[in-house]
Structure 1
Amino acid sequence: MKLLLTGGCGFIGSAVVRNLLRHTDHVVVNVDKMTYAASEDALEDCLGHHRHILVRADIADADAMRQVFATHDPDAVMHLAAESHVDRSIDGPDDFVRTNVLGTFTLLEAARRHYGGLNEPRKAAFRFHHISTDEVFGALEAGDPPFTETTPYDPRSPYSATKAASDHLVRAWSHTYKLPTIVSNTCNNYGPWQFPEKLIPLITLNALEGRDLPVYGDGSNMRDWLFVEDHAEALVRVVQQGVPGETYAIGGRQPRTNLQVVKAICAHLDRRLPDPAGPRERLIRFVTDRPGHDFRYEIDPSRAETALDWKAPHDFETGLARTIDWYLDNRPWWETLRKARYAGQRLGTMTDGKEKAA
């Protein structure tokens, strides 16, 4: 297939590109606006691959999207491009509405026109796979069952509200226009190449530099964690095997409180690179909770695991060790970001570490 993939230079998107080019024969047309969180470096050896085409364009630009479809004639779409940082959505929601809502609408309309011009065999094979987040379902309390594909929507932040809106648009285009769409919702991703404002890299790098490790509230907020390469593998299976009209809840079965995550990072760094000043847990600082901070997210991935014949290979401890070791081995990448883009910007703010779609 020739896949049009949006947000392919982002954290999750680049993992999907690497998976596709290393493990399939598909051609990837990678459409990315190249915002602050995008990095060509994250494509690694796939950047110059003969089956990879990078198009710098904004998914909210209707003319650009029409041109992309006309030029590259894709067989399927994987839509990962999104603004995804919750704190940023609280400070400035307009970018989130533009990219997540208007951008998804624009892409759907371009895909609908493209789909209408395909012959019947290509129509039967075409898919529009929209990658979303578990935050659209709202928050869980202690003892509540995890989210599933049928959990009602209850978004709480500008970020999750705009992702919920995009999910609804995708399903409406399926029902009204018969565009063969698929939605997948996932939990918090972590792994190599994640931008340093997210929880796991932020805490890792602050701990390496002896900075404070800020934890919202008392650290009891809980998230389900999925290693990004495992998620990429699942997403490829969705676009290849998924049934139009269906939703797939993709999770790692690895719930942890934020404080547990921070302490696990400290413990791994203390083993790998001891700090002469003492154990890094000494750097933990509890800070004022952010507005509307959801208590818990967790996904029950049972249905997706069965449908896709897939289960996340990494447990949290194994994935976290791989992630921290990657940051230790790739200092030039994140040191450049910290100096050039990140100086003076919210280094003391802890976030949830989620970037969907790419």
Structure 2
Amino acid sequence: MSLMPMIEFARKRPALLLAGGAVPLALAAAAVALNKAPEKAAAPKPLPLVSVAPAVARDLPVKLSAQGHLVALTQVDVRPQATGTIRAIHFKEGDEVKAGQLMFTLDASDVAAQLAKAQATAAQVQAQLDEAQRDLVRTQQLAKAQFYSPSSVDAAEGRVATLRAQHRAMLADIENSRVLVDRTRILAPMAGLTGALSVHPGSLAQPGAASPLVNVAQMDPIGVEFTLPEANLPALLAARDAGKVQLSIAAAYGTPVQGKLVFVNNTVNADTGTISLKAAFPNPRKALWPGAYVKVQLTAGVSPGAVTLAPQSILDSPGGRFVFVLDAPAGKVVARPVTLLRIQEQLAVVEGLANGEQVVTEGQLGLKTGAAVRVAAAAPAASAGAAP
């Protein structure tokens, strides 16, 4: 038998030939080798494709934003200082009142009677004092003529002193009664907008009542309370000392309202890491209402040489925030920790980078320090207002 037909037969029936033993072992091995497909060489894995952009240092205005709520800069609970029945209410709830305006009148019959009694008693003591003073003068004259002894003069002087003291006490009683009468007329302590009434004519007003008679709140100017991270406090204080703090909020009619910073709390909240602030805004149209939430825009001077980059460049890890920086000559990336100061105008303001360093903006997934990469294209420098 020729070799080629046997090889062809072994390629088709290698198991039969091996089982029967009719074909030599060498021919069977040759048939198996011919039947095996040649292996292909493994293709090299491509390098990760990334996009990079330079970090840019620039003089950037420090613009901060926060959510705040409107509050009355001055607010007073109107309470009675004497117990009495409310005889009349001289305003309607929700009215604008002026400082010193009459708001409530209490029943003053008992205190008016006390005042009249004190005045009558004072008049009686005054009459006794006048008589005693005349007696003293006569006693002194007769004592000089030796008709009265010196002890009589002393007694007359003592009576005058006693009546003078009683008269001063009566005058104090009169003044106290007048104060009680005045307290039956409750005046507006300040100009502002009144709230809901808790009493009506005929109600009993008491100084120790749980609810005030009414609340008066100042509406113009109006305040805004808000908080900022403590990291922004140094820049804010420096701008305040230089008079460069600017604040604005959006009013209900759409026009931004400019205000001024009036209060910075003396303690940073250790639980939240924030500082409480308060600003005042003009509100002549009463469009801003206490209790409403507003967005506060604050400018605190200029941050010179602030390093900015695209926000999507910053990654989070258990150790903190970081970015991948491209080592261009080696074609590799290195993880660099950074501190995010704020996001402003679609730019991330950071510490920990130098101007011009190439930062990976896309393709960071799966990268690690020392990884070789391919750069897709050099992105333009991050600019204010650029979309991330």
- Greater share of strand: 2
TM norm. shorter chain > 0.5: no
Bigger relative contact order, structure 1 or 2 (CA pairs below 8 A, ≥6 apart): 2
- Greater share of helix: 1
TM-score, with length taken from structure 2: 0.17
TM-score, with length taken from structure 1: 0.18
Structure label with greater radius of gyration = 2
